[in-house]
Amino acid sequence: MSKLTSTLLYSLTGAAAIASLSSCKSNKQAEPQKPMNVIYIMSDDHSYQTISAYDQRYIHTPNIDRIGNEGVRFTNSFVANSISGPSRACMLTGKHSHANGFINNSTTFNGDQLTFPKLLQQNGYQTAMIGKWHLVSDPQGFDYWEILPGQGDYYNPTFIQMNGEKIQEEGYATNIITDKAINWIENRDESKPFCMLLHHKAPHRTWMPDTCDLELFADKTFPLPENFYDNYEGRLAAQKQEMSIAKNMGLVYDLKMADKEKEISDGIYEYWGHEMYNGNRMNPAQKAAWDAHYAPIIEKFKKDKLTGKALAEWKFQQYMRDYLRVITSVDRNIGRVLDYLEEKGLLENTMIVYTSDQGFYMGEHGWFDKRFMYEESFRTPLLVRLPGGKKGDVAQLVQNIDYGPTILDLAGIEKPEEMHGESFLPLLKGEEAPEWRNSLYYHFYEYPAEHAVCRHFGVRTDRYKLIHFYNDIDSWELFDLQEDPSEMNNLYGKPGTEEITKELKAELKRLQEYYDDPIRKEFVIE
């Protein structure tokens, strides 16, 4: 591939060029530009399937939808590495995992490196980070931060404060994180623009609902995804994974069947399940509400003695109900933030982002969790409301490495060269689309580890996906997303795919060079 044609990926102008373009575009008297605030709301493991702006099968999320309805819904939004810490590091640094160093959840983030909040802070923004952080080292670049230790707890969560002190708050995490965020905005220094990162713990495993939401969806039966009983034929890594609802989702731990007699047992983190649901985490009122809901379900579950498919499907239904209850609380709390901003007149000068650290499986392929470069976990929801900006869908391929450059662009700060991502601000403004990337690069490293998803890297175009699984496995997968959106039919090596395989391998190789991923020296694509 020649150097010229290799600009397939980018010919996007830098922030400075965009600024100068827009400054000479119009000769009408420009309104005095208020600096734009930013509220970046990110949940943990929130699937696009469970946001009604994307999918109406399961739940109605009016408040999250509002962000998209009054702004932009990205229909092709992806992460660079589908797991929490790494995804957060990509988002903060604008760089792929190999370059920011946080490749898996056992890494410690090098907080001395450049991040977009640091640049905003240096340029007069007031910055804050509240909620799940998950990068081990203390946050840097924030005037204020208050974070959950590790994954944090749903009930009566502990927070680490800037002085290193830990405090335990009474209540439910999603409400408390929202309270803290609103409180910080309310008491900020109004002479400066602000950027707040509001990071929910919800809806991360074990999907514990707030007491007021426990009865929701109780009578609902959700349709099983078509490929719930996938046998993973032709997909070796999928055969090795341990994220199956039937086999790896715990009755006690995940599905709250923590009976006092401890008769229900499947060996999956049971001790921790009993600690969470029968230990001292909840206060008496919370515990009473919890038991009022789950005790009759436990009793019936014991009586029914389900096995095989009936048990797998019961697990799926319980999982869906709890997950959607947790989403209901996220949606309600986003409504609180929007109402607050509206009341304070801040909707006019604040860009609001809603996203997740990655997607999640709602039973597709029989799974929960994420990690794979398959669509459900590679994609992530992305809704952005920019005052005065575009309303509608944006279909360009965007990735979480683009968030930093976009927010910097909005603040008029030039993107540092080391950032891999690109500003999609022009797309948000509805300006004539700049030439945009035609392919995305992905690299997942967390193996061996929980859920046993093999290491892999790959490339996705608007139609095709090529993945290479490596380490203790050496396999390729090729999917035609147009013909096979559920990625059930691995076409790699099949007659007739030679040409497209060659093209995708060349593109993958080019991306590894472009982003300078050292894996290309260990594994040469041929």
Residue 170, φ and ψ in degrees, nearest 5:
-90, 125
SS3 of 221-271: the string is CCCCCCCCCCCCCCCHHHHHCCCEHHHHCCCCCCCCCCCCCCCCCCCCCHH
The two structure tokens encoding residue 492: 């790699």
Min CB(361)–ligand SGN separation in Å: 11
Q: Which stretch binds Ca ion (CB under 5 A): 82-90, 96-104, 132-140, 413-421?
A: 82-90
Size of the site for ligand SGN (CB under 6 A): 14
Residue of 36, 45, 319, 467 that binds Ca ion (CB under 5 A): 45
310-340 in b/e form (b: 16+ CB < 10 A) is ebbbebbbbbbbbbbbbbbbbbbbbbebbeb
In the range 253-282, which residues lie near ligand SGN by CB under 6 A? 269
How far is it, in rounded angstroms, from Cα 177 to Cα 337? 11
Cβ–Cβ under 8 Å, residues 383 and 74? yes
SS3 of 408-459: the string is HHHCCCCCCCCCCCCCCHHHHHCCCCCCCCCCEEEEECCCCCCCCCCEEEEE
Q: Which stretch binds Ca ion (CB under 5 A): 26-34, 350-358, 382-390, 505-513?
A: 350-358
Q: Quick check: helix, strand or coil at residue 78?
A: strand
Q: Which is nearer to ligand SGN, 72 or 276 (CB)?
A: 276
Q: Which is nearer to Ca ion, 68 or 85 (CB)?
A: 85
Q: Which stretch binds ligand SGN (CB under 6 A): 201-209, 338-346, 410-418, 488-496?
A: 201-209
Q: 330 touches which of ligand SGN, Ca ion, none (CB within 5 to 8 A by kind)?
A: none
How far is it, in rounded angstroms, from Cα 99 to Cα 15? 22
Size of the site for Ca ion (CB under 5 A): 4
Q: Which stretch binds Ca ion (CB under 5 A): 19-27, 80-88, 332-340, 432-440?
A: 80-88
- Owner of token pair 């605030």: 37
How far is it, in rounded angstroms, from Cα 285 to Cα 82? 37
Q: Which is nearer to ligand SGN, 45 or 259 (CB)?
A: 45
Q: Which stretch binds ligand SGN (CB under 6 A): 153-161, 202-210, 341-349, 380-388?
A: 202-210
Cα angle 421, 427, 430 (rounded to 5 degrees) comes to 165
Q: Which is nearer to ligand SGN, 45 or 230 (CB)?
A: 45
Asked if 170 touches ligand SGN (CB under 6 A), the answer is no
Q: Which is nearer to ligand SGN, 83 or 130 (CB)?
A: 83
- E-assigned strand segments in 25-116: 37-43, 72-74, 77-78
Asked if 357 touches Ca ion (CB under 5 A), the answer is yes
Q: Quick check: helix, strand or coil at residue 491?
A: coil
Asked if 105 touches Ca ion (CB under 5 A), the answer is no
Q: Which is nearer to Ca ion, 45 or 487 (CB)?
A: 45
Q: 205 touches which of ligand SGN, Ca ion, none (CB within 5 to 8 A by kind)?
A: ligand SGN
Residue 83, φ and ψ in degrees, nearest 5:
-160, 150
Asked if 315 touches ligand SGN (CB under 6 A), the answer is no
Handedness of CA 425, 427, 428, 431 (dihedral sign): positive
Q: 451 touches which of ligand SGN, Ca ion, none (CB within 5 to 8 A by kind)?
A: ligand SGN
- Among residues 154, 247, 168, 246, the alpha carbon closest in space to that of 206 is found at 154
How far is it, in rounded angstroms, from Cα 285 to Cα 369? 31
In the range 39-58, which residues lie near ligand SGN by CB under 6 A? 44-45
Residue nearest Ca ion by beta-carbon distance: 84
Q: Which is nearer to ligand SGN, 85 or 389 (CB)?
A: 85
Residue 73, φ and ψ in degrees, nearest 5:
-110, 115
Asked if 377 touches Ca ion (CB under 5 A), the answer is no
In the range 61-90, which residues lie near ligand SGN by CB under 6 A? 83-84
Asked if 474 touches ligand SGN (CB under 6 A), the answer is no
Q: Which amino acid is it at 211?
A: T
Q: Which stretch binds Ca ion (CB under 5 A): 22-30, 36-44, 105-113, 183-191?
A: 36-44
Min CB(132)–Ca ion separation in Å: 8
Min CB(324)–ligand SGN separation in Å: 18
Q: Which stretch binds Ca ion (CB under 5 A): 329-337, 355-363, 408-416, 510-518?
A: 355-363
Q: 105 touches which of Ca ion, ligand SGN, none (CB within 5 to 8 A by kind)?
A: ligand SGN
How far is it, in rounded angstroms, from Cα 302 to Cα 263? 9
Asked if 153 touches Ca ion (CB under 5 A), the answer is no
Q: Which is nearer to ligand SGN, 304 or 450 (CB)?
A: 450
Cβ–Cβ under 8 Å, residues 152 and 132? yes
Residue of 49, 77, 81, 84 that binds Ca ion (CB under 5 A): 84
Residue of 170, 226, 299, 450 that binds ligand SGN (CB under 6 A): 450
- Among residues 272, 172, 169, the alpha carbon closest in space to that of 214 is found at 172
Q: Which is nearer to ligand SGN, 151 or 349 (CB)?
A: 151
Q: Which is nearer to Ca ion, 105 or 350 (CB)?
A: 105
Q: Quick check: helix, strand or coil at residue 337?
A: helix
Q: Which is nearer to ligand SGN, 61 or 105 (CB)?
A: 105
* Residue 102 neighbours by CB distance under 10 Å: 30
Min CB(252)–ligand SGN separation in Å: 12
The two structure tokens encoding residue 108: 């410690």
Residues that bind Ca ion (CB under 5 A): 44-45, 84, 357
Residues that bind ligand SGN (CB under 6 A): 44-45, 83-84, 105, 134, 151, 204-206, 269, 369, 450-451
